[in-house]
Amino acid sequence: MTHDRLQPLNLPQPVQVQLDSKGLPLSISPHAFVSFHHSADSERQREMRASENKLRPVAAVIEVWRVDDEWWRQPISRRYVEVVLEGGRHVVLYEDLNTGDWYIQRI
Amino acid sequence: MTGSNKQRPKYERGAGIAARTLRSELAVCLWFPQFALHCELQRHHDFAARPTAVLAAEDARRLWQVSPIARRAGVKPSMTVSQAVGLCPSLSLWEADPVHYDEQFSNLLVVLSDVSPVIEPAELGRVYIGVDGMEQLHGSPQQQVDIIQQIVATWRQTGGGQEMPASSVRLGWGRGKFTAWVAATRAKPGAVVIISDEERADFTASQPVALLQMDPDIHRRLWQLGIRQLSDLARLPELAVVSQFGKTGHRLWSLAAGEIVNPVVGREMPEPIVATIDFPNPVADHGILAHALDRLIERALRHPRRAGWRILEVQARAQQENSASWMITAILKDPTAHRDHIAEPLKVRLGHTPPTRPVETLTVEFTMFVRGTDELQLFARDANSSARAGRRCALRTALREIRARYRHSGLYQIVEVQPRSRLLERRYALIDYDP
């Protein structure tokens, strides 16, 4: 087995998030799912993708937590929110507290 | 340099099991540290200037052999992958491929058998060569090791260890395996240390006791007793050491005091293995002959004498109608004990130069052998590692086919990097899978 280089898995993908008054996600934008699909999709997969490309409301917020790390080099400060989307899909979103950008990751 | 034979020590018990002609008191230890790592660098040339490491065969989360560049970054053997990557993010890792290492080492043993019939592999990358009587053939010990170095250089040039730096081989010459081994450990990379009989006692006396292979507990006790060098151990009364450490103590004291010489014990190559079939009616059909070759190879492989050996050269011959004969020979590039790999070159030759008349009797003979994987004791000792090696072999074949079709395999393996990290993207990573 050769490792040219390690390629990190589950890299965060940028996502647009609509927030409620408490700062919790109400819905996430369609392109959040693009990276989870392969290019060689079948017709049915394309249909499924089109349906997923609609705005995805958040059905429930499971957990919220904060991570502050690596203050000694490039500080990392994130507010994570684990949510269930309508349809039952679990995802983890986080807000980069240094930039205000939102990202999505799988669990 | 060989010195006189006065006060010749007695042999270690059990050393005389092999035939007399395959035992040698004078030994050369050829030591190739980091053999597995060098095997990998041989396959991946462009990694020579990068920090690299080979993962342990039994626990793929830990490192086994580490390149000097990686060591300079603080990476050490036995570290976990996550620790190592934390210290050296550019570290490249290879999963251990014991079958490949054993094949490479077996090929080295084959070329060394041109120097001496008395060859004893000790572990992967370390082999003893019996050199009794070589004075008359090749001259002084220095000339003997020169011959061995030339043989190793030839092995490297012919593909065995092409990318392995010559400087990584160390040689030790001395009476008995222990002296030769200690000499090799004291040799600089690419150099040789020759210990004559006159120097032997002083040389071994000044060495640390850690060179004796022993239980860590015994080593700790010796350390607590203030015994640092072999001379310290040899100075103690033998009975006192035996009463403390039993049979092991006797062996350790005898080696430290130079009381025993453990000779190199070679192993006789098996006699050729023959399998024959008589056809009731002469056969001219290519398909039937190819099928018969398969059956004969299977039968020859099952021969008890074949156990522990792989086939290097195979011969097929036939008695044709009207007493005409036919013969083909194949030298296998990669010695194997796999039926299809042995049969393949024979079938190709059968297609190119088939028997000219119908065949009455067909014979397959294994004529040359190399030591099998199971003889090299580091790996494949247990069923699990054998199964792993088998799976890897199947994967390698599948990958070769995928690459031939798509130019790249597109296969990856998931490894733990920092499985407990609070940042999800740091927990796991993909690596190219190339078994």
pLDDT at residue B10, as a whole number: 41
- B92 at interface of A, judged by CB pairs closer than 8 A: yes
Q: What are the pLDDT digits (tens) for B374-423? A: 444 444 444 455 556 666 767 777 787 787 777 777 778 787 777 788 88
Q: What are the pLDDT digits (tens) for B74-104? A: 999 989 888 888 888 888 888 887 767 877 8
Q: Say yes or no for a CB contact (<8 Å) between B92 and A11.
A: no
Per-residue pLDDT of chain B (435 residues; tens, 9 = 90+): 333 333 434 434 333 333 345 888 999 999 999 888 988 888 887 888 889 999 887 677 889 999 999 999 999 998 988 888 888 888 888 888 776 787 788 778 878 888 888 888 888 889 999 998 888 888 889 999 998 988 888 877 765 555 555 567 899 999 999 999 999 999 988 889 999 988 888 888 888 888 888 888 888 888 888 888 888 988 888 888 888 888 888 888 888 888 888 899 887 667 789 999 999 889 989 999 999 999 999 999 888 777 777 888 899 999 888 777 888 889 887 778 888 889 999 999 998 888 888 999 999 999 888 766 544 444 444 445 555 666 676 777 778 778 777 777 777 878 777 778 888 888 888 877 766
- Report ipTM (2 d.p.): 0.76
Instruction: List chain B residues with CB under 8 Å of A8.
Output: 417, 425-426, 428-430
A76-85: strand order across its sheet: A13-15, A102-105, A90-96, A76-85, A56-69, A25-28, A17-19
- HEC string for B295-331: HHHHHHHCCHHHCCEEEEEEEEEEEEHHHCEEEEEEE
Q: Say yes or no for a CB contact (<8 Å) between B430 and A6.
A: yes
Q: Residue B174 in contact with residue B145, Cβ under 8 Å?
A: no
- B48 at interface of A, judged by CB pairs closer than 8 A: no
Residues 11-70 in A contacting B (C-alpha not used; CB under 8 Å): 11-12, 67, 69
B39-57: burial string, b at 16+ Cβ within 10 Å, e else: bbbbebeebeebbbbbbbb
Q: Say yes or no for a CB contact (<8 Å) between B94 and A2.
A: yes
pLDDT at residue B316, as a whole number: 92
A59-85: burial string, b at 16+ Cβ within 10 Å, e else: eebeeeeebeeeeeeeeeebbbbbbeb
- A81 at interface of B, judged by CB pairs closer than 8 A: no
Nearest Cα to B89, choosing from A69, A3, A71, A74? A3
Can you list the alpha helix ranges (DSSP code H) found in B194-271? 197-205, 216-224, 230-235, 238-256
pLDDT at residue B385, as a whole number: 54
Q: Least CA distance to B429: which residue of chain A?
A: A8
Burial of B218 (0-12, 13-18, 19+ CB in 10 A): middle
- B414 at interface of A, judged by CB pairs closer than 8 A: yes
B359-371: strand order across its sheet: B273-283, B359-371, B309-320, B325-336
pLDDT at residue A96, as a whole number: 94
Residue range A88-94: mean pLDDT, rounded: 89
Instruction: List chain B residues with CB under 8 Å of A106.
Output: 424
- Write the Ramachandran bin of B140: left for phi over 0, alpha for psi from -120 to 50, otherwise beta: beta
Q: Which of A4, A6, A68 to mutate to test the interface with B (most CBs of B within 10 A)?
A: A6
Partners of B330 in the β-ladder: B314
Q: Domains of chain B by range and CATH?
A: 10-34+100-264 (3.30.70.270), 273-375 (3.30.1490.100), 383-432 (no CATH)
